[in-house]
Structure 1
Amino acid sequence: MSDEGEPSGAGRAATDGGHAHEFPPTSSVRRWLVTTNHKDVGILYVVTSLFFLVFGGVLALLMRLQLWSPGADVLSAVSYNQAVSAHGLIMIFWFLSPFAFGFANYVVPLQIGAKDLAFPRLNALSYWLYLFSGLLLGVSFFQGGTFAGGWTMYAPLNVPVYTPNVGASTAVLALILFVASVTVSSVNFLTTMHRMRAEGMTLRRMPLFSWTILLTVWMMLFAFAALLAALLILASDRLLGTTYFSAKAGGSLLWAHLFWFFGHPEVYIVFFPALGVMAETFQTFTGRRIVGRKWFIAAMVLVALQSFLVWMHHMFLTGINLEIKTLFMATTIGISLPFDLMVFALIYTMIKGKIRFTTPFLFSFGALLLFILGGITGVFLGAVVLDYEFRGTYWVVAHFHYVMVAGVTALVGGLYYWFPKMTGKMYDRLLGKLHFAIYFVGFNLLYFPMFLAWETPRRDFVYDAAFVTEHRVATVGAFLLGASFLVMFYNLSTSLVAGDDAEDNPWEYSRTTEWALPSPPPLENFPKVPSFASGSLRFGRGAADGGEVGSTSTTRPSSEQRSDGGLAANATPVAQATGSAHPTGHGADHASVWPFVVGLASFFALLGVSGFKTGTLAPGVGGVLAMASLTFGTALGGYALVSMAREQFTVESGPFGESWPFAGVENTKLGVWIFLASDVVLFGAFVGSYVFIRVAHGWQEWHDLVPAAHVPLPGLINTYLLLTSSFSVVLALVAAERGSRWGLVGSLATTFALGVAFLVNKAMEWQHLFHVHSEAFPHGWELGTNVASSTFYLTTGLHGAHVAVGLLISLYLLVRAWNGAYLDDERPVEYFGLYWHFVDIVWLFLFPLFYIL
């Protein structure tokens, strides 16, 4: 076994378009460009997120230098606003969640007994989209300055009148690309965790860290879809000239609703993985199973559901009536109660166990202390009367960081906890504890004085001179906190190069399956097929032995699996227990360069899009470069997607055990359903935005904003076209099932033709409306004419984009069907049908809303 956890000797063979080649070692740059293995992707996430930690941290230190005295001139006013905005965006989006999901990528498949995630290439794609979205944000600093309207991007500060820089538009596009990464990852993790668990690994037995990731990903699926809607509308306002968020009636409030419907679940999206780390480390270093485990899980489920019902407590200062404010004050207080249960469960676990003050435990325990203070101070903000006083002050800044950076504290503990497993090396324990001491002191010196100086207005570097002492103490604390990470980087880097070899299980009372594997684990994770059916970890015969999936070994390894999904104390690695550490199964398929290429293409395409303003490119060289970047990125992306679709890449599909509630749904179909669930929220947010703006303007008065030429007939024709195309997709599936090649080709061709007819009819309608000339609309009815035209064109345009994507897929299927594909496996046609039917159903809602009512 090599240090990288690969089979000894030559690397595994991988396939690329059917041609075998050696899977490169970890010392090769090529390995990291082509890998799709979940452990490699996890390491990439961790390392990249730590880079963004430094990026955001440097911006924070610049801000603290500016706050050394009131009105200091370290940064200009605009530069300070950019630093504040970018710091918040980077830490929330590009550091916190990706840092946690680095561990999730690495650990969750090991904990649930899976060899990899359900869709390995999509896992790699999610990473590359994440990386290039962060690079795109970095580029925005060099385009006249990045976004400067605060990380919450409140309207109308987010429209070009107030933030006119090209870089501000690029920052919005970077966030859109990041959300695309999150969506791909969410679909992948949900499919994996519901369909790829080993035999006997029921939801009840699943480890607590995996539970937190499962709930986090469900929240991400819906919350980020709402954010995507907000960002797409904002990008349209900035690039195409629509007028959603500059609308006098409801524009600013609409952004607040969309953003905070995402924003409050995001708090728990960030904190839940940290909570999972705390639960795992508390169990390991107290030697005690978490007290009230089933109630702990129930509390997390309740918080995940409630997180979508409290968003308006961020909007108490708006014009919402008092009854609604009171209702959301009650839901805010209500969501704190399950957290009380979880906090007491962790405390009682410590009381009933025997604490071992290791570095991971110190960080987890410190996180608990910080979170308790952050939670208590947050209850103040949940009260309407107190929120009127505290909103917009440093009380909010301090509370927010005591919650969010408490999550960081636990995740740093997770880094120390899993570092031996991921690297095979042990960190320096003394330096680890020194890191915690400096970190904890620096943290409290930085953030606690903000409670004392709470009357300081947030996002403003000019403050009352009475608070100079508090701000200077906070600045010292900031640099101390930053210095603590230098200790961590030194510790981990030197340990990686010259540290002591770690035992496969360095923790005496570790409870989860990853500690039963070598450090680092082999490429294929498990030597043979894992099973938890008997209540203990057993192994069936591997594929190389001719064994069947789910068969169990008669030899019981000494590393036993507890009924709660945890390993018994003093576990022995299964590789030693079974006498084999060589992977079996699908290990030949871990390499694909196309996810990287798609990410690169997305970067160039969106960089080109950032050059647009009110639908036109900037004149001169800038416009030419933007068009060149857009063309290159689009062409490269199209080629990469087709190549990835044609690439031979096989993975095990599951299920291997209990997969409730999706036991009868194949992996790809489940992935499509999950994606469509997020798309429901996306379209729901667009439709809700239209209804909200229209009600704010006046439902009947809305007709004054619409020309008489906007008649129902084009929409009615398109309704018939789409309904007919859905019928032809059904015929295509029937033809494939019956083995009728020409029936399949003809039905797909009919679907394609009807979809093209839909878009042509839509284009003719738009062209007509653009050139309507009347007394009320002397310049036509264009995207930016009024808010009614903006909502019509953007919402139906989003639907048209879905139709266009469907046409590209159908064209690909048509070409393949012409060559005889899908007659022996009709599933791709079925999956396309699910998407196409969804697009048609959406139109059945849009037609009456925009053409009749």
Structure 2
Amino acid sequence: MSTETHDEGGHLPPMTSVRRWLVTTNHKDVGLLYLATSLFFLVLGGVLALLFRIQLWGSGGGFLSALNYNQAVTIHGLLMVFWFLSPFAFGFANYIVPLQIGAKDLAFPRLNALSYWLYLASGLIVAVSFFQGGAFAGGWTMYAPLNMPINTPTIGGTATVLGLTLFIMSTTIGTVNFLTTIHRGRAEGMGLWNLPMFTWSILLTVWMMLFAFAALLAALLLLSYDRVIAAGLGGAEAVHYFGPEASGSLLWAHLFWFFGHPEVYIVFFPALGVMFEVFQTFTGRRIVGRKWVILAMVLVAVQSFLVWMHHMFLSAINLEIKTLMMATTIGISLPFDLMVFSMIYTTVKGRVRFATPFLFVLGSLLLFILGGITGVFLGAVVLDYEFRGTYWVVAHFHYVMVAGVTALVGGLYYWWPKMTGKMYSEYLGKLHFAAYFIGFNLLYLPMFFAWETPRRVFIYPEELAIFQKMATVGAFVFGLSFLIMFYNFAKSYRHGAEAPDNPWEYSQTAEWAIDSPPTLENWKGRVSYASGSLEFVKPGSNDAGGSTSATAADGGTAATDGGAVVAAGQLDTVEQVDDSHEEPHPDHASMWPATIGLGMFVLFLGLSGLTTTSGVLYPALTGTGLLIFLGAALGFGLEEFDAPEANVAERWPFEGVGKNKLGVWFFLASDVIVFGAVIGAYLFSRIAYGWSEWHHGEVVPPFLWPGMVNTFVLLTSSFTVVLAMVYAERGNKKGLVASLGTTLLLGIVFLGIKAWEWSYEFSHGVYPWTDIWYTSYFVTTGMHALHVILGLMVAGFMFWRSTNGAYLDDDEPVELFGLYWHFVDIVWVFLFPMFYLM
């Protein structure tokens, strides 16, 4: 174990200080925060589950009212899917991925911390929603029309929607960060094929998240309009995006499930990565067919976006399309067959040690096989008509999702010695597994036999009571198993034996080559695989004889996960000679991410009741939250924070793209999907309503000339941004200030014309909630206007700084702002013909 404490250096308070956890940006600290917070939401969601399992002890039980029962079921599902499963996996990703790829931190440490604080804020908003007249009660899928304010009218219901929206903002920031880090921060010699399996699983997960969560964000923004603006200002007669006027229920299903089915793999892929790592370590052999397994995972990641409609077999979609979706659904199971057989064959051919981590991943494999087989039934159109909306779906869903949880719990045991420097009790770990596995199967296996019970209904035939009682007993055994886990880890942390740096006999990834727990900046030198084996290159060393390679179990050399397996005690740190690439030391502390998180929590809490109450509380919360956010964002922008890139790293296929620019490109790719989904919603609604009948009413906005003028204004502003970049490159301060100022002025002119246009329409009785055409027009152009406002905030900040000579020595911020501004202008080029010419 390292003698250097984790809390030394980097301007961080000690780990025993509360302030440490409020200001840290270090990836390992943020990973621990994610793990602890996700386990808190696990407990919260688990308590809700136990409440409705008590309700289900007898048919029509009176422990909870119907509304409270629906709230408990809904929020349990939301918490488990969004606030526990993915964040739990990304707690490991934050901690382990930089260690596995040889990085000192993620590419954007402050954004990593911001992602966590927004995640925490979003979850607290959902928790608070119970005290705002009741939380959302329409099911975790939020199907329309149950998501309409008339059916779930409470402020807490709106808060739940806004909390989920904030959560997706958090995940978008994290997604961009991980994509940039893995693609540009790998150690020298570590190609993509050689990435450790856990890192591979995270890379594919964040690629799926980049597009899937963007579609859900678009849907939630439209739903937030329905609940905050249309319901609050338009009254009972308001037209809603997901109302019946233009098949809103089907529109929501398309948007939600375009996210929802990739989400299954977003949740399960990190668990797969854990399974592969643990199988390799505890069987003593490399995963069989490794490259084919990676290709299978890539195929699933792509195909996951082509199967969403199997969740809609009961809708009015024609049979030919349903048949196509059935084929893609069954087809996506084939790559999983390859992965399952790979793990089985690895186990059969290996030297298995039944330690706690291996028991959990083996249990995960067994549960996933049963979940996958029962899922094939739902992939068939005919059988889906029979099983849809029953306990068969509930059982299948949990056998798949909780199989992922099972593997992640195994990962917690696997990496616990690395994260804490302490060994857990194997006896308690195996006792935990026994209670966990028995409890889970006692809870969910009876549901297959009680499949005729409708989901989210607590009245059932008396002959099914025995299965419901078994499930309730199983729920309590399952819950008890987690108490054993918490006790085991608490005892280990306080009184456990010191863990060696590498406690596993055949561990083979780089995190096991360093101290337990790792030092603040992870490495004593630069990590390199250039020789084909793991080496630490020590800057400034003149010891020409100090370079040796770690010996592998098979007589080869220790390489990345794509190479040989490393024997016990042989994954040694190696110092190589005469490295001229001195690695810089990054900062690790900032108060602004937590402050922004606080501002967003207050702001979104205020928005939840802004238009539905006559009091001052929610408007005051909205204003206060906005002020905190703006002040913290300004502090974030002005703070001097050093997060340098490694001088030597693998960056294929983005060698020619800078770190910051690549991050902006990833963000814009996500934003393309957001606007694409909103534009797709417009086209869907118009086709469903009737293309030629779309325009009607006495006043038909928008007028042609304001749209034409605004198009000219925005295109001109793109030209002035280009001029700003040219002047910054030339070091011309006056030209830079003038160009940024002109861009700022043109953006204000654009908003001024748009404001006049809207005010004219309002004065003639045309509002966003008047009918579905006006809803589409106001909401879509309003989202674009919000992007313009955000861009102007950045432009104003840069204009102010440029007057003091900023950006002349470093013109990259001007270029990055230009990328965003060009994107905003391109979006308008699409919106203008849609709403002004069509």
**TM-score when scaled to structure 2?**
0.96
Deviations 1:183-204 (A, max 9, x none): 0000000000000001001101
Q: 1:401 aligns with which of 379, 382, 398?
A: 398
| CA-CA distance at 1:282 after TM superposition | 0.4
Q: Is the 8 A contact 1:517 1:573 kept in 2?
A: no
Task: Decide which of 655, 666, 672 is 1:680's aligned counterpart.
Answer: 672
- Distance, in Å, in 2 between the alignment partners of 1:708 and 1:46 is 53
Identify the match of residue 47 of structure 1 among 36, 39, 64. 36
Distance apart, 1:295 and its partner CA = 0.2
Q: Secondary structure at the match of 1:317?
A: coil
Structure 1 residues 553 and 175: CA distance shift in structure 2, 3 A = farther
The aligned residue for residue 775 of structure 1 is none
Matched, 1:101 2:90: yes
1:661 to partner: Cα distance: 1.1
Distance 1:28 1:97 in 2: 28
Q: Which amino acid aligns with 2:161?
A: V
1:373 alignment partner, one of 370, 373, 376 = 370
CA distance in 1, matches of 2:150, 2:541: 68
- How far apart in 1 are the matches of 2:369 and 2:294? 19
Instruction: State the Cα distance separating 1:642 from its structure 2 match.
Output: 1.1
Q: How far apart, in 2, do the equivalents of 1:654 and 1:669 lie?
A: 16
Measure, in 1, the Cα distance between the counterparts of 2:423 and 2:674.
45
Superposition map of 1:219-298 within 5 A: 219-241=208-230, 243-298=240-295
1:463-482 matched pairs, under 5 angstroms: 463-482=460-479
Q: Partners of 2:591 and 2:583 in 1: how far apart?
A: 22
Paired with 2:645 and 2:322, the residues of 1 have a C-alpha distance of 48
SS in 2 for 1:656: coil
Residues 191 and 149 from structure 1, CA distance in 2 versus in 1: closer, same or farther, beyond 3 angstroms? same
1:586–1:650 contact (8 Å) kept in structure 2: no
C-alpha separation between the residues in 2 aligned to 1:757 and 1:377? 58
Deviation, 1:652, is 2.0
AA of the residue aligned to 1:79: N
Compute the displacement of 1:739 (Å).
1.1
Decide which of 522, 539, 547 is 1:554's aligned counterpart. 547
Q: Does the CA-based 8 Å contact 1:540-1:552 persist in structure 2?
A: no
Query: Among 326, 329, 343, which residue is 2:340 paired with?
Result: 343
Q: Is the 8 A contact 1:195 1:655 kept in 2?
A: no
Structure 1 position 790 matched with structure 2 position 744? no
Is the 1:226–1:258 contact (alpha carbons within 8 Å) kept by the matching residues of 2? yes
Task: Kindly state the Cα deviation for residue 578 of structure 1 after the two structures are TM-superposed.
Answer: 4.9
Which residue in 1 is equivalent to 2:236?
none
Please show how residues 62-211 of structure 1 align to structure 2 within 5 Å.
62-211=51-200
State the AA in 2 paired with 1:146. Answer: A
1:620-631 matches, within 5 Å, as 620=615, 624-631=616-623
552-561 or 153-162, which deviates more: 552-561
SS for the counterpart of 1:87 is helix
The one-letter code matched in structure 2 to 1:509 is Y
1:658 positional shift: 2.1
Give how far 1:579 is off. 12
Alignment match, 2:695: 703
CA contact (8 A) 1:538 1:553 kept: no
Match of 1:638 in 2: 630
Deviation at residue 617 of structure 1 after TM alignment: 4.8
* One-letter amino acid of the structure 2 residue matched with residue 272 of structure 1: F
* CA distance in 1: counterparts of 2:464 and 2:381, whole angstroms: 26
CA contact (8 A) 1:523 1:587 kept: no
Q: Find out whether 1:457 has 2:449 as its counterpart.
A: no
Q: Percent identity?
A: 64
* Distance change >3 Å, CA 851–CA 3, structure 1 → 2: farther
- Alignment-derived partner of residue 492 in structure 1: 489
Structure 1 residues 438 and 566: CA distance shift in structure 2, 3 A: farther
One-letter identity of the residue aligned with 2:6 = E
* Structure-1 residue corresponding to 2:202: 213
**Kindly tell me: are residues 684 and 790 of structure 1, through their superposed partners in 2, closer, same or farther at Cα, counting changes over 3 Å?**
same
Residues 222, 320 of structure 1: alpha-carbon distance in 2 compared, 3 angstrom cutoff = same
Whether 1:619 and 2:614 are equivalent positions in the alignment is: yes
Asked if 1 retains the 8 angstrom alpha-carbon contact of 2:535 and 2:576, the reply is: no
Q: For residues 368 and 709 of structure 2, what CA distance do their matches in structure 1 show? A: 57
Matches within 5 A, 1:739-818: 739-772=731-764, 780-818=765-803
Asked if the contact 2:22/2:594 (under 8 Å) is kept, the reply is yes
Deviation at 1:568, TM superposition (A): 3.7
Q: Is the 8 A contact 1:196 1:655 kept in 2?
A: no
**Structure 2, unpaired ranges of 5+:** 231-238
Maintained 8 Å contact 2:215/2:255: yes
Q: Structure 2: how far apart are the matches of 1:97 and 1:298?
A: 23
* Alpha-carbon distance between aligned partners in 2 of 1:596 and 1:349, rounded to the nearest angstrom: 44
* 1:732 and 2:724 matched: yes
Residue 443 of structure 1 corresponds to 440
Aligned partner letter, 2:688 = A
Q: 1:617 to 1:85 in 2, by over 3 A?
A: closer
In 1, Cα distance between the equivalents of 2:112 and 2:349?
Answer: 40
Task: Tell me the alpha carbon deviations over residues 208-263 of structure 1, each in whole angstroms, 9 at most, x when there is no partner.
Answer: 00000000000001000000001000010000005111133211000000000000
| Residues 598/446 of structure 1: CA separation in 2 closer, same or farther (3 Å cut) | same
Deviations 1:397-450 (A, max 9, x none): 000000000000000000000000000000000000000001000010000000
1:540–1:553 Cα contact (<8 Å) kept: no
List gaps (5 residues or longer) in structure 1.
15-22, 773-779
Q: Separation in 2 of the partners of 1:94 and 1:655? A: 36
Q: 1:690 to 1:163 in 2, by over 3 A?
A: same
Q: Is the 8 A contact 1:227 1:259 kept in 2?
A: yes
Distance change >3 Å, CA 307–CA 117, structure 1 → 2: same
Read off the aligned partner of 1:367 and give its amino acid letter.
Answer: S
* SS of corresponding position for 2:694: helix
Q: Which residue of 2 aligns with 1:520?
A: 517
Aligned equivalent of 1:601? 599
Contact 2:777 2:835 in 1 (8 A): yes
- Give the whole-Å Cα distance in 2 for the aligned partners of 1:239 and 1:552: 69
- 2-side partners of 1:790 and 1:829: how far apart? 35
Q: Deviations over 1:570-599 (max 9, x none)?
A: 25477765599xxx9544510101100000
Does 2:660 align with 1:668? yes
Deviation at 1:565, TM superposition (A): 4.1
What's the counterpart of residue 19 of structure 1? none
- SS of the residue corresponding to residue 536 of structure 2 reads strand
Identify which range, 702-711 or 589-598, moves more after superposition.
Answer: 702-711
Q: Which stretch has the larger CA shift, 118-127 or 624-633?
A: 624-633
CA gap of 1:709–1:158, structure 2 versus 1, over 3 A, is: closer
Q: Which amino acid aligns with 2:719?
A: F
2:585 and 2:165 map into 1 onto residues whose CA distance is: 33
Please report how far the alpha carbon of residue 841 of structure 1 lies from its aligned counterpart in structure 2 after TM superposition: 0.3
Give the C-alpha shift of residue 566 in structure 1.
Answer: 5.7
Question: Retained in 1: the 8 A contact 2:535–2:573?
Answer: no
Aligned-partner Cα distance in 1 for 2:246–2:545: 65
Which residue does 1:17 correspond to in 2? none
For the 8 Å contact 1:755–1:803, the answer to whether it is kept is yes
TM-score normalized by structure 1?
0.94
Aligned match for 2:20, one of 23, 31, 47? 31
- Match for residue 823 of structure 2? 838
- TM-superposed deviation, 1:13: 4.4
1:308 maps onto 2:301 in alignment:
no
- Distance in structure 2 (CA, Å) of the matches to 1:561 and 1:166: 57
Alignment of 1:649-664 (within 5 A): 649-654=641-646, 656-664=648-656
